[in-house]
Structure 1
Amino acid sequence: MNLSEQLSMTARKNRHKTAYIFQDKETSYMELDVAVTKFASRLQQLGYKKGDHIALVVSNSPYFIIGLYGALRMGAVVIPINPLYTSHEMSYILRNGDVKGIITMDVLLEKFEVIQDQLPDVKYYISCESEDDLSLANSPLSSKMKSLSQMVAEGSLEFKDPGTDDEDTAIILYTSGTTGKPKGAMLSHQNIYSNAKDVADYLTINAEDRVIAALPMFHVFCLTVALNAPLMNGGTVLIMPKFSPQEVFRLTQNHNATVFAGVPTMYNYLLQSADNHQDYFTGIRLCISGGAAMPVSLLKNFEQTFNVKVSEGYGLSEASPVTCFNPLDRPPKSGSIGRSIVNVDNKVVDELGQEVPPGEAGELIVRGPNVMKGYYKLGEETAAALKDGWLHTGDMARMDDEGYFYIVDRKKDMILVGGYNVYPREVEETLYDHPGIAEAAVVGTPHPETGESVLAFVVAKDTELNEPDLLAFCKGHLAKYKVPSKISFLDELPKNTTGKILRKNLREQIEQ
């Protein structure tokens, strides 16, 4: 069984039930399934075959769902990419991921026009229409351009099933690594199907639920918890193009939402906007938090204000992503990421791989049907991450005597900005690309709204180099959330006797 087959089964049982609501328009399961099949058949007609890689660079919309499920149905490997990425950031993923087709919004096509010469293997750019009603006739990509809506209209229900196996790669999620370039985590059909099913079962997401998809769909948290899980059991997805507290309140009131999933920053914004909106959440039975640790005070204030339970969990791209959630049949433990979900094992080990006693800190490792096949074209990195069937997360954790896990430290030096992972090495390499920079180091610092922000310390070759110019350079090469909030110029960076930059000393400078 895979996600595409499950969608067809649900559509046959619930022809007229609402699969999703977008801009107050309802679409039934049968309408969705027909669109998926027609899109899949049209991809085949264009020459795409099982195993071809197709990038999905689409914001939250029905286009994302049709693009994802349609490409999976015809056996393609889908590579979701953040639409906020610059051309520079997308170029590496598209080239490394051997992409042959790109599904994207018409307003983003300019980004691909800049790098089209670097992508000779891309046969077609499949455009999703926005409200801007853009004329694309003069686009340099026009000869390779197709309309997703037109493809669905022209597609056939006489679809040839490619015979997808459970172990075939379904999705490659590119996740930034501490060593520099993003790594593509290969998730099989079994990986993503099992995690969606197990999450839905653990959180009792059912056909009566209406789940708000406010998180970006390209992110695996939303992909599994707010999209695949409800569609798995015949629920309804309430699609938000962009998060806003007022829109969340409107959806809960007008469309009877029952489940909300978000990162702590979203909960903070909702709490700050709570005036006279508390009653709007009366129908919400469950709130799900992930992506970063939620401050205990925020969790308690939110639950008291809106009279709703918040279940914190834990996951990572390499695990499709969920491994832990706080159980729903008892009060959650403050500060805990919860217990292992069904069919997934978590344990804490020392440097020798031996399990440590409850209360003792060590590395969190994970095993289950949700764990990735490996990193695309990276054998050594795969061997380092997967050992004896266990995924080594790199996160330090402890477990109490009731099986609840607590993250005590994050992957070394990682910065969490509004729930997004930012790895210093990636920002540093961008800074090093500037001809006026001799040295660079990046650290995170607490931020009241985004959780953390990025701070950069540089040693300049050119005394005339200034912060505004360097920030402008970063904005041209990095997504907005990765751009440093401040850049400090130093005569030299603190180092140890081996020449290693001492980030701890830089953090101490911030705190002084």
Structure 2
Amino acid sequence: MAHVGATLERLAAQDPNRTAVSDGRRALNRAELLELVTASEVLLAQKAAADRVLVTTGEAVEALGRLLAAARSGRAAVVVDPAHLERHGSRLRQSIGPLFEDWTDISFDSRAVPEEAPKPMAPGPSTPFYIGLTSGSTGQSKAFQRSHRSWTESFRLADEAFGLGADERVLVPGGLGHSLHLFGAIHGLHRGWRVDVVRSFQPLAVLRRMQEAMSTVLVTTPTQLRLLAIAGDREGLRLHCLRRLLISGAKWHARDRELVAAVFPQAECHEFYGTSETSFISHRGPADLYSEGVGRPFPGVELEVRGQDGKALPVGQDGEVWVRSPLLFDRYVMGDEPMTRSDAGWLTLGDRGRVDDEGRVFLAGRGGRMIVTSGLNVFAEEIETVLLEYPGIAQAAVFGVPDTLRGARIVAAVQLADPALAQADLRRHCLARLERAKVPRSFHVAEHWPLTPGGKPDLQTIGAWVLEQEEADAGVSDRSKA
């Protein structure tokens, strides 16, 4: 596994007609995938493309082909979903440029390749190949860079931890702009497994795709898994083909286990904790599923809990989680994250937790004020900034409250400068500026806005008040907040 995509020729030679990737409308076999990737490499060479190339994820099959072409040619693919590109495109181009994005001259139907196609130098293990977007405690999107080694090692260690074999069929039920789903797809293509991606997440349709493809591995967030299990149970479906559930993006709750086991009776559940910057950190497999923690350190990963003085803490004490592994990202190439710090090969994102005497990891909280909702990492500051752009808002604070479906539900406390402002106005304002998943589900109007002695909003007091309001609303309302 010298570099990402290095296996495509061998796989195509072994079994050219075997399906490599499908989005439900378009499918490519291994030979066709190699032709698509090669034609894209030729285009990059002919146009003397910059070292960084833009790959949008609107068409998943093309996006995967372009990413692999960039990787194999020694370039880094900047992978962005269309919504992120619309919102952050200008900043992205200014920060990361020069950025190649002119794919218009290639015919993906004919994929005609010149006989003497230019052969780029093979990338090395430390060559950057992928740049993705993530948020941070500053509320500003950042772009992180990963090397070939960080993902090829992740492939190898994932195979070991999850017991993956040589003949898997992977289904990815979410957009490729999310690093969890992108990793699942590229891992599968690199290993020669069939990869199925979906155009939109409609639970029953996803289950039908899994049945048709005889999927053996599902890469999913807890929210997606819950919705799939609910839909499958309602229809009386039992997917005996599925052997592995790889779950990440938020905490998977015990309440869903029985339902998931009914719909996927043969599937082992593997929950893992990690980030875009670290890849895998810990893994909770079948033997640990009833633990309340996030499992044990992933194979190849060292984990240390440190105190404020930077020294390792004894077992059982809460502190800052630091990791060291060959899977870590290179750096941020756009923006910065003050919670992310390195020290002699070790890295922390500011997450807090502890390790027990059996080596199990327990998280007390993610770094900064991050809210994990529906598998997405969302930061309160970004939403507060948008709310404060509205003339009728004097103060704003955003929180995550417990939610059985999403893991956390985003809600906001606001102090109004305009008493006539309606919640519908706030929602429309947010929808025009934020991805839908980041828009608060409810807004609570506070007449009093407490401050700390330092003159900052007393977020602990305001947050407790918001939770009281949410509980009171739940007591007098029949709504599910779904």
Calculate the TM-score normalised by the size of structure 1: 0.84
Identical amino acids, percent of aligned pairs: 24
Partner SS for 1:376 = strand
Partner of 1:339: 296
Measured after TM superposition, the shift of residue 263 of structure 1 is 0.8
Secondary structure at the counterpart of residue 425 of structure 1: helix
Stretches of structure 2 lacking an aligned partner (at least 5 in a row): 469-482
Q: Give the letter for the 1:98 counterpart.
A: G
- For 1:274, the aligned partner's letter is G
Take 2:199 and 2:161, find their aligned partners in 1: how far apart are those partners?
27
Q: 1:80/1:26 Cα in 2 relative to 1: closer, same or farther (>3 Å)? A: closer
Amino acid at match of 2:117: E
1:314 is the counterpart of 2:273:
yes
Tell me which residue corresponds to 2:146.
187
Aligned match for 1:243, one of 201, 215, 232: 201
Residue of structure 2 equivalent to 1:43: 44
SS at match of 2:350: strand
Deviations 1:466-485 (A, max 9, x none): 33223222212111111122
Task: Describe the superposition over 1:181-219 as per-residue Cα deviations: whole angstroms up to 9, x where unpaired.
Answer: 222222112112221222123223233110111122221
Which stretch shows the higher mean deviation, 442-451 or 286-295? 442-451
2:253 is the counterpart of 1:295:
yes
Q: Distance in 1 between matches of 2:444 and 2:456?
A: 19
Secondary structure at the aligned position of 2:163 is classed as coil
Q: Which moved more, 1:305-314 or 1:281-290?
A: 305-314
CA distance in 2, matches of 1:262, 1:473: 31
- Aligned letter for 1:502? D
Q: CA distance change for structure 1 residues 380 and 28 in 2, over 3 Å: closer, same or farther?
A: closer
The root-mean-square deviation of aligned C-alpha atoms, in Å, is 2.6
2:245 maps to amino acid: C
**Distance in 1 separating the partners of 2:45 and 2:36:** 14
| Equivalent AA in structure 1 for residue 382 of structure 2 | E
Question: 5 Å matches for 1:71-470?
Answer: 71-85=70-84, 87-98=86-97, 100-102=99-101, 124=102, 126=103, 146=105, 149=108, 152-153=111-112, 158-224=117-183, 226-275=184-233, 280-304=238-262, 306-307=264-265, 308-319=267-278, 321-327=279-285, 330=287, 332-376=289-333, 381=338, 385-470=341-426
TM-score between the two structures when normalised by the length of structure 2? 0.89
CA positional deviation for 1:262 = 0.9
The AA in structure 2 aligned to 1:47 is A
Deviation at 1:301, TM superposition (A): 3.8
Task: Check the 8 A contact 1:197/1:229 in 2, yes or no.
Answer: no
Which deviates the most, 209-218 or 446-455? 446-455
Once the two structures are TM-superposed, the CA of residue 390 in structure 1 deviates from its matched residue by 0.8
**How much does 1:173 deviate?**
2.0
**Structure 2 counterpart of 1:130:** none
CA distance in structure 2 between the aligned counterparts of 1:242 and 1:378, rounded to whole angstroms? 30
- Distance of 1:84 and 1:100 partners within structure 2: 18
Aligned counterparts of 2:69 and 2:298: Cα–Cα separation in 1:
29
Q: 1:449 to 1:84 in 2, by over 3 A?
A: farther
| 3-state SS in 2 of match to 1:497 | coil
Kept in 1, the 8 Å contact 2:294–2:362? The answer is: yes
Aligned residues: 466
Q: How far off is 1:3 after superposition?
A: 0.6
Partner of 1:15: 16
- Assess, with a 3 A threshold, how the Cα gap between structure 1 residues 47 and 304 changes in structure 2: closer, same or farther: same
Contact 1:454–1:484 under 8 Å retained in 2: yes
The 1:377–1:453 alpha-carbon spacing in structure 2 relative to 1, beyond 3 Å, is closer
Residues 25 and 91 (structure 1), Cα distance of their counterparts in 2 relative to 1, 3 Å cut: closer
AA in 2 matched with 1:42? L
Q: Does the CA-based 8 Å contact 1:197-1:232 persist in structure 2?
A: no
| 1:35-73 Cα distance to aligned partner (Å, 9 max, x none) | 101111112212304x2x222221362112112111222
Partners of 1:55 and 1:80 within 8 A in 2:
yes
The 1:191–1:86 alpha-carbon spacing in structure 2 relative to 1, beyond 3 Å, is: closer
